[in-house]
Amino acid sequence: MVKELPDIDSLLRRYAEFVTGETSYESVELVKTAAIYSFIAKNIPSLAHEWVTEECNRDREMNDIMDEMDKFATGNTEEEHYLHDSANEEHRSPIDPLTLPYDLKLKAFYSTLLRLKNMYGIQTNDGIRITKYFTGKELAKMTGTTTFFIVREIKNLKDIGIIVNEGGIMTIRDVEYLQKIAQCRKCPADLCRF
């Protein structure tokens, strides 16, 4: 005999209504996906990471879902959320790079490249060359991400022609692209450093 389980669907509908203000099928599925993923990512991060990286777009899709849930939960725009986080930076707990949303990792990495450009960059015919060599591990530590993420994103940037990477020395060919994704405020180069 199969044991009867509680009606979890009614809880999900109520939670969806509480978070999103509606009980449509899409809202309930959004809440259900986010709740299950959050639970697994918190309790078994390696399993969640493995599942997310099995398919190319899954990482981005889950980050989009979690970002949407975060907006519902806080009621903040991205800019308000950024300002809130910045104001409370000293009270933050350490960040787990495996559960950090993709877009935040990307912004952190691009922002790091822009800062390194300001510190070690020289203008060449190909773009701005960062004259100091950094390993993927060093870049991951600077950005609060993983080496795997850094290596993958360097390859992506090379593939679309944003950077050239010769012998570990990067040349940024399209600074404006990085600034746009990083939501750069275009601070003076002498201030935008580590």
8 A C-beta contact, residue 114 and residue 182 = yes
8 or 129, which is more confident? 129
Residue 72: its pLDDT value, please?
A: 64
Alpha-carbon span 11 to 65, nearest angstrom: 19
Residue 152, burial from CB neighbour count under 10 angstroms (0-12, 13-18, 19+): middle
Q: Taking a C-beta distance cutoff of 8 angstroms, is the pair 33, 19 a contact? A: no
Indicate if the pLDDT at residue 149 is higher than 90.
no
pLDDT tens-digit readout, 106-131 = 888 999 999 999 999 999 999 999 99
- 146-165: average pLDDT: 90
Residue 100: per-residue pLDDT: 59
* Calpha distance 77→95 (Å, rounded): 21
The full DSSP string for 78-135 is HHHHHHHHHHTGGGPPPP-TTTS-HHHHHHHHHHHHHHHHHHHEEE-SSSEEE-S---
Higher pLDDT, residue 75 or 133: 133
SS3 57: coil
pLDDT at 178: 93
- The answer to whether residue 86 scores a pLDDT higher than 50 is no
Domains belonging to the chain, first-starting first, are: 9-87 (no CATH), 102-182 (1.10.10.10)
Question: What was the pLDDT predicted at 37?
Answer: 82
- For 24-76, write each residue's pLDDT tens digit: 898 889 888 888 887 787 777 777 777 877 777 787 788 788 777 766 654 54
CA 107 to chain centre: 7
